[in-house]
Chain A
Amino acid sequence: MATHGKKQDNRSPADWWLFVLGFVLFAAVGFWATPAILYAEKPQPFQFSHKLHMEQVGEGCQSCHAFREDGSYTGIPSLEKCKECHGEEPMGETPEEKVFSKDYVAKNKPIPWQVYSKQPPCVFFSHAAHVANAGLECASCHGDHGDTEKLRTYEYNRLTGYSRDIWGWSLIPLDGPPKRMKMDDCAKCHRDNGVRDACFVCHK
């Protein structure tokens, strides 16, 4: 028994701090590495001020992001919509507008915007049902996008190709809209408001 007791005494102390070190270090690597590995940036074609435009138009978001006659939603406005106000000559002084006039309006080329809120094609989403029928504000899902002076950096998921806004900018999925636009958020809102949340409501 004495021998056994001696052996125990000689063993190294319970270095639990090494466990903690490993945990903290690699959890940090996980938190740091995940977005670094997974997300890449894509530039927008040119800068755009929603704030400036909101001051110029009369009907808020709907002035440019409108419903078609059949109730479907135009989403990002087409170049034709921009051309209702903008000509080949810039209206203001900003370098961004010069790029817009020269490279797009003059060449009649559609603007390849990166769309932050673009959902996967397997999702059917009706803006009419949510905005016109349920009376949701645009900001409920899209946040304060309409008040921003600059377009923030667009990041996309290298693996899935979808905008980072869908999963949300926080890696821990605790947020809801407008910080995140995942299926769970749609389902939760449907449940909370007593709306059917079966698969086929959105996945046709």
Chain B
Amino acid sequence: MNWDRRAFVKFAVGAVVGLNASPLVPKLMDDVAIWTQNWSWVPDPETGAVAFAKSINPATQTGVKARLVKARLSGQRVIRVEGDPEHPLSQGGVLAADAAAPQQSYYQAMRVDAPMVRKEGVRGRVAAEEAVQKVAAKLKALAQAGKASQVAIIADDPFSVTGEMLMRLAAAYGTPNLVFMPSAKQTLALAGGLMFGQGDIGFDLANATYTVSFGTPLLEGFGAPVAVRKAFAAWRKDPMHRATLVQVEPRSSVTASQADLWLACKPGTEGVLAYAMANLMIQAGKVDSAAANAAGFEQFKALLAGEYSLEKASQASGVPADKIKAVAEGFMKAPKAVAVCGPGNSGDPGRLFDFMAVLALNAVKGNLGKPGGLVLRQGVAWKALGGPLDLPGAPRLDGGGKRIMGSYSAYDLAAAALKGQPYPLEALIVVGCNPAFAGPQAKVMRQLIDNTPFVACVSEFMDETAELADVVLPKASFLECWGDCATPYGAAQSFYGVHQPLVSALPQTKSAGDWLLAVAKLLGGKAAEALPFAEAKEALAARAEGLGGLEDLAAKGYWMQEKPAYGFSFKTPSGRLELAPSALGKPAAPAAGVAPSKERPLLMAGIPSLRTGAGGAPMSPYQVKILDEITLAHKDQLVVEINPQTAHAMHLGEGDMVEIASAAGKINARLHLYHGAAPGMVFVPVGLGHTAFGMYLKNKGANFFEAVEVAADPGSGLPQWALTPVSIAKAGGVSHV
């Protein structure tokens, strides 16, 4: 044998084939793939027994429990967030915004992960001390110049510990201009205060057998949404004892579609129908004694008999008389019937007249303080963070004192400050909310931010407001810090929920309370004295003393009034129910509301959805994916609903791209013809159309609040944007990509 080239090639080929026939190559390939699992940055869950910690999402007031590894309650990744079956409100249920969304938002690229300061127009990261120093120095300089009252604060929730800390800080610093985002809680408290002398009231939905909801999105974001849905599920559980739900509103909404009967009324006539039903009950002689003995009953009776007869109400509301009568009879006969008022579909605080009409209907029915009726709540016995502070003497920009009960209004504050009457703003601090997006009239709020020389905000995300601010302080999410929330709108029992740190906070984030304490400390003097806490947890602990201590509260996750308090008392000047409240001197009556005009022939209202915005929190990226084509077409076109008759009269068709313009602003959208939409109206989904938040949320549809025009409610004086007169014109362009 010659060991020549050919022999070598044969041997070499044999060797290569032989080596490949051995497991060396496939084994190594497989192992290399597996090796990638062990790179140091690939997350590796801890092993150990599973433990649970209770928490609450303050945005939706859903009780959740976090599944985690035992003995590692903080400073770690939560395995997952799930519903807490022991939670009395949500009973194990969650919304899309409660479970996966906060975890996804935690890692979202648009989270503010470091304090930021704008220098010469460019925003850059700075150390926490520098950012806090900048805010404190500005506030100090303004106070020294006697301009403390020219500082305004806009925050999200007056009932949270952060809200109370803000009240103390504002008072000690010397500004009367602390406002919170508008809420239906304000209107209900006003209505209750006027008629019962008590504003802490709720609806005992869980025990009701006949519920009439007057224009409020009962299943799409009312109070604690999961709790309301649980009550609804219980109504439907037993077919033999099925409770009845009647929905009164101009659009066939989710609530209307789930209701046993939908009264498709003309926009803004919900209160008229409540009065008409009360009138039918009075005529039938079915009046509860408390109502019959009420202050102003005769006046009330005469008003209803004259102005709210079945025929007149039917004509005004467009609801057939027999249907109004059927609901009134059903309501009258049902042993446990309740009429419900609440936030409007556009997310506004509601009209005072509607609320008072609904409360009057409940009073005539005689369900006050009865199971399945309207109940007084016990109240949350938290301990105040300190003694009362003197309120600054300067007039409030929002004119709060001029309204019946001195309610706050962020919109009025902005409008007055922009006019400079009585004075303009020198600094604005925004805590935990996004007025540049959610307005309510987004453009006005943006103008306020633009016109105010110094704007600081405490925000979890780089949202529309944060993008415009001079200083941005990164806020921790509810899974990262201590905090609380109190009784949801309309709940029958008083409630207090606590959340605690369950995941390691991003290194530079803090709770809003901790940022406030840092600023107060640098301000020194009265501001520091008003908040004598080293950290926000201490303030929470001080508050929780009245509720059994923070430790027990945190372990359980909540405090709740044991059961609804049945029995009712009136604290009005007359000591009785006041159907003609002393403060008004007559029964509530609707004033001329928003009406369409020749230039703006349609009325725009919102479509609330737990998908597009629960509790004002931004959607998480995956929530955008679950929107269907009749909310967001082709991933980026907002879809609005219009009645086919209205569309045809305006020569518009399905899929047309239109411009919806109000006196305040305009938005572009794609038309969807929907028989469930009231004629003469256009319905716009609320919560889409962000211009911030990066690729997942930015430019997905258009923002309802860009076209909203705020008007003052004639009754309460609170901002009102249930209906906005708009015009619609074809905008051209194609409706598909």
Please list the residues of chain A having a beta carbon within 8 angstroms of any beta carbon in chain B: 12-13, 15-16, 18-31, 33-34, 38, 68, 70, 72, 75, 120-122, 157, 159-162, 167, 171-173
B1-21 vs A: 1/0 string, CB under 8 Å? 110101100111111111111
Dominant secondary structure of chain B at its interface with chain A:
helix
B34, A19: Cβ atoms closer than 8 Å:
no
Set of chain B residues within 8 Å of A20, measured between Cβ atoms: 14
Q: Who on chain A is nearest to B2 by CB?
A: A12
Set of chain B residues within 8 Å of A161, measured between Cβ atoms: 38
For this complex, 25 residue pairs linking A to B, each with C-beta atoms less than 8 Å apart, are A15-B6, A15-B7, A16-B10, A18-B10, A18-B11, A19-B10, A21-B11, A22-B16, A23-B14, A25-B15, A29-B18, A30-B18, A30-B25, A34-B27, A70-B49, A72-B49, A75-B47, A120-B37, A121-B45, A159-B31, A159-B32, A159-B35, A160-B37, A171-B27, A172-B23
A30, B24: Cβ atoms closer than 8 Å:
yes
Set of chain B residues within 8 Å of A171, measured between Cβ atoms: 22-23, 27
B4, A31: Cβ atoms closer than 8 Å:
no
Minimum CB–CB distance from B50 to chain A (whole Å) comes to 6
Partner of A12, one of B6, B13, B21, B27: B6
Report if B44 contacts A (CB, 8 A): yes
Please measure, in the bound complex, the distance between the C-alpha atom of A15 and the C-alpha atom of B19, giving whole angstroms. Answer: 20
Q: Who on chain A is nearest to B13 by CB?
A: A19
B19, A26: Cβ atoms closer than 8 Å:
yes
A160, B7: Cβ atoms closer than 8 Å:
no
Q: Who on chain A is nearest to B21 by CB?
A: A27
Residues from 44 to 69 in B contacting A, C-beta threshold 8 Å: 44-45, 47, 49-50
Set of chain B residues within 8 Å of A18, measured between Cβ atoms: 1, 7, 10-11, 14
Q: Who on chain A is nearest to B33 by CB?
A: A160
Partner of B7, one of A12, A26, A31: A12
Please measure, in the bound complex, the distance between the C-alpha atom of A26 and the C-alpha atom of B24, giving whole angstroms. Answer: 10
Q: With A70-B49, A120-B37 in contact, do A23 and B21 touch (Cβ < 8 Å)?
A: yes
Minimum CB–CB distance from B104 to chain A (whole Å) comes to 15
A26, B15: Cβ atoms closer than 8 Å:
yes
Q: Who on chain B is nearest to A118 by CB?
A: B47
Q: Who on chain B is nearest to A123 by CB?
A: B37
A34, B37: Cβ atoms closer than 8 Å:
no
A26, B37: Cβ atoms closer than 8 Å:
no
Please measure, in the bound complex, the distance between the C-alpha atom of A34 and the C-alpha atom of B20, giving whole angstroms. Answer: 12
Please measure, in the bound complex, the distance between the C-alpha atom of A16 and the C-alpha atom of B10, giving whole angstroms. Answer: 7
Minimum CB–CB distance from B107 to chain A (whole Å) comes to 16
Partner of B11, one of A19, A121, A157, A173: A19
Q: Who on chain A is nearest to B52 by CB?
A: A70
Q: With A18-B10, A121-B44 in contact, do A25 and B24 touch (Cβ < 8 Å)?
A: no
Minimum CB–CB distance from A31 to chain B (whole Å) comes to 5
Minimum CB–CB distance from B599 to chain A (whole Å) comes to 55
Please measure, in the bound complex, the distance between the C-alpha atom of A33 and the C-alpha atom of B32, giving whole angstroms. Answer: 17
B14, A160: Cβ atoms closer than 8 Å:
no
Q: Who on chain A is nearest to B20 by CB?
A: A30
Q: With A157-B31, A159-B35 in contact, do A31 and B22 touch (Cβ < 8 Å)?
A: yes
A sample of 9 more A-B contacts (CB under 8 A), given A72-B50, A159-B32, is A19-B13, A26-B19, A30-B23, A34-B22, A34-B27, A34-B28, A121-B45, A157-B34, A161-B38
Set of chain A residues within 8 Å of B31, measured between Cβ atoms: 38, 157, 159-160
A19, B1: Cβ atoms closer than 8 Å:
no
B15, A22: Cβ atoms closer than 8 Å:
yes
Please measure, in the bound complex, the distance between the C-alpha atom of A175 and the C-alpha atom of B12, giving whole angstroms. Answer: 32
Partner of A30, one of B4, B19, B37, B50: B19
A70, B50: Cβ atoms closer than 8 Å:
yes
B24, A33: Cβ atoms closer than 8 Å:
yes
Q: Who on chain B is nearest to A160 by CB?
A: B34
Please measure, in the bound complex, the distance between the C-alpha atom of A45 and the C-alpha atom of B6, giving whole angstroms. Answer: 55
Q: Who on chain B is nearest to A182 by CB?
A: B30
Minimum CB–CB distance from A70 to chain B (whole Å) comes to 6
Q: With A12-B2, A160-B38 in contact, do A34 and B11 touch (Cβ < 8 Å)?
A: no
Minimum CB–CB distance from B80 to chain A (whole Å) comes to 9
Minimum CB–CB distance from B521 to chain A (whole Å) comes to 43
Set of chain A residues within 8 Å of B34, measured between Cβ atoms: 120, 157, 159-160, 162
Set of chain B residues within 8 Å of A33, measured between Cβ atoms: 24
Q: With A12-B6, A30-B21, A72-B50 in contact, do A22 and B12 touch (Cβ < 8 Å)?
A: yes
